[in-house]
Chain A
Amino acid sequence: GAVVSQHPSWVICKSGTSVKIECRSLDFQATTMFWYRQFPKQSLMLMATSNEGSKATYEQGVEKDKFLINHASLTLSTLTVTSAHPEDSSFYICSAPRTSGSGGGTDTQYFGPGTRLTVL
């Protein structure tokens, strides 16, 4: 079953409004979560790394004032698209690494199901 969830699955909004997308790790804690954007049949583009208890790290070219990230707890990160415009319409995906084993175990990335944003 899914170990990372996203809400909402779909959202349609008017241009100029803000939209919040939630990413939750369901049965593990994640001090780090990643936010991606995906265009049809293209690679996932890393937007930012969400860090619990500190500021997010944004990739070059991603406007941090437009894409607000808050890692409120060890199981929840939110991405808020502020003043959304039609060019922000996309598929937004989050992921969270889960460490298996103790003392330096390997990480497995678990991906969320995605949130489809359409800005009219």
Chain B
Amino acid sequence: GQNIDQPTEMTATEGAIVQINCTYQTSGFNGLFWYQQHAGEAPTFLSYNVLDGLEEKGRFSSFLSRSKGYSYLLLKELQMKDSASYLCAVLDSNYQLIWGAGTKLIIKP
């Protein structure tokens, strides 16, 4: 079956760095997405990786290793507003989105 794994919850300190991991097993691969979702709001697009390597976008970076079925989202200089759920989703061979359950990130002062 198809599966996406990411930690349920993580806690980090304001100003620090946190890495949220995502591992996947899917039938085919057409890219991996990271979204940020604040409570009561729609998910916001953060990144899309389809080739191996690191993509940096301001304070957020996303890494992909297709051979390992692994990605991570790296958040630097954490701010209180970064407290949210972070969703990992993979586009499979049928261009269907397979979703992780999300990682709730708690930022403490």
Contacts and interface: CB of A to CB of B under 8 A. Distances in A.
A interface SS class: strand
Contacts of A42: 45
B18 interface: no
Interface of A: 1-2, 9-10, 34, 36, 41-46, 93, 108-114, 116
Interface of B: 1-3, 35, 37, 41-45, 48, 85, 87, 89, 94-99, 101-102
Nearest to B39: A107
Contacts of B2: 1-2
A93 B89 CA distance: 12
Contacts of B41: 46
Given A1-B1, A43-B35, A111 B99 contact: yes
A36 B35 CA distance: 14
Contact of A110 (B35, B37, B42, B99): B99
A113 B98 contact: yes
A10 B94 CA distance: 9
A113 B1 CA distance: 14
Contacts of A9: 94, 96
Nearest to A98: B101
- For A2, A113, A114, A116, the residue with the greatest tally of chain B CB atoms inside 10 Å of its CB is A113
A43 B97 contact: no
Nearest to A4: B99
A43 B42 contact: yes
B105 to A, nearest CB: 14
A114 B97 contact: yes
Contact of B44 (A2, A43, A108, A116): A43
Contacts of B98: 2, 113
